[in-house]
């Protein structure tokens, strides 16, 4: 655990001697979860409870247009959602127990896209992206429900560069640690989208890429949900332990497979 020190002076027999107070840093990391479009904070609560057990302060929330505000969904744009995320981040960062230099943001799908953009607007040390989506910049103020599914599918199947996408531009500038998780059988966020994100992360401190075998976009099966939770908890544990030790730790960028090729590690859960 990291410590902080404070010099002091001790009076004795009319003289003064020097000393130092050493105290544990009682501030803890914060973790903010951002759910996907059509989801809610309920999907993150179980994972947040597990990570809170590591000594982190976690926060989940519902984006506007979901749960109690579902009636607003027809008019919600990405601008509304980003404002929601910024407000949630600021609320977490203001918690008196949070170390503001140690905040993680974990986003899934639409939430991953928003989380990537947030890194350009607020300090984020750790960024976890689960099947992060991509959207055209020019449709930013178009209500999310009015976007063309066919157009999005075509766009996500192309190689997209940071020069042409706000989220990827934020990824290019990001210098923290990244977890990138994809699903093997994802029909909403294809492998090319994941590769666009991965290629954009050129200045990160570390990049961990995982594929959940036999998983769809929504992690519909209990096995795939458990596999993703394991990946996330293990990664957060590594990050938190590293900062508490107060020293640099080696983190793998890529797994090397039997052929010697670099690539993401595939994760299969056997119930």
Q: What is the pLDDT along the chain (271 residues), one digit of tens a residue?
A: 566 788 989 898 898 888 888 876 678 999 999 999 999 999 999 999 999 999 899 999 999 999 999 999 999 999 999 999 999 999 999 999 999 999 999 999 999 999 999 999 999 999 999 999 999 999 999 999 999 999 999 999 999 999 999 999 999 999 999 999 999 999 999 999 999 999 999 999 999 999 999 999 999 999 999 999 999 999 999 998 877 666 444 444 333 333 333 456 665 544 3
Measured on CA atoms in the order 69, 74, 78, 83, is the torsion positive or negative? negative
Total domain count for the chain?
Answer: 1
> Does some domain include residue 20?
no
Residue 221, judged by CB atoms within 10 A of its CB (0-12, 13-18, 19+), counts as middle
> Does some domain include residue 75?
yes
Helix or strand (DSSP H, E) at 234: helix 222-245
> Does some domain include residue 22?
no
Residue 168, judged by CB atoms within 10 A of its CB (0-12, 13-18, 19+), counts as buried
Return the CATH number at 147: 3.40.50.1820
Is the separation of the CB atoms in 200 and 172 below 8 Å?
yes
Is the separation of the CB atoms in 156 and 134 below 8 Å?
yes
> Does some domain include residue 14?
no
Is the separation of the CB atoms in 160 and 138 below 8 Å?
no
> Does some domain include residue 9?
no
> What residue numbers bound the domain in which 258 lies?
27-267
Residue whose tokens read 């969904």: 73
Which DSSP state fits 63?
A: P
> Does some domain include residue 229?
yes
> Does some domain include residue 91?
yes
Helix or strand (DSSP H, E) at 135: none
Supply the Cα-derived Rg of the chain in whole angstroms.
Answer: 21
> Does some domain include residue 3?
no
């Amino acid at each position: 655990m990291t410590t902080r020190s404070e010099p002091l002076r001790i009076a004795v027999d009319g003289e003064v001697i020097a000393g130092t107070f050493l105290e544990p840093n009682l501030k803890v990391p914060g973790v903010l979860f951002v759910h996907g479009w059509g989801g809610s904070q309920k999907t993150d609560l179980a994972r947040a409870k597990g990570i809170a057990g590591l000594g982190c302060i976690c926060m989940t929330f519902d984006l506007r247009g979901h749960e109690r505000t579902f009636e607003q969904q027809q008019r919600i744009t990405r601008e509304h959602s980003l404002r929601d995320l910024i407000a949630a981040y600021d609320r977490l960062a203001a918690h008196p127990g949070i170390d503001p230099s140690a905040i993680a943001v974990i986003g899934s799908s639409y939430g991953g896209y928003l989380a990537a953009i947030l890194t350009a607007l607020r300090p984020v040390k750790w960024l976890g992206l689960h099947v992060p989506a991509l959207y055209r910049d020019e449709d930013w103020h178009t209500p999310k429900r009015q976007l063309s599914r066919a157009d999005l599918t075509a766009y996500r199947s192309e190689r997209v560069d940071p020069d042409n996408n706000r989220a990827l531009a934020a990824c290019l500038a990001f210098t923290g640690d990244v977890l990138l998780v994809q699903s093997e059988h994802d029909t909403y966020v294809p492998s090319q989208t994941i590769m666009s994100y991965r290629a954009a992360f050129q200045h990160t401190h570390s990049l961990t890429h995982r594929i959940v075998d036999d998983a769809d976009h929504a992690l519909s099966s209990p096995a795939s949900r458990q596999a993703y939770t394991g990946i996330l908890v293990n990664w957060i544990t590594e990050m938190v332990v590293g900062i508490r030790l107060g020293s640099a730790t080696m983190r793998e960028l890529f797994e090397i497979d039997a052929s010697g090729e670099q690539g993401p590690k595939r994760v299969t859960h056997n119930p």
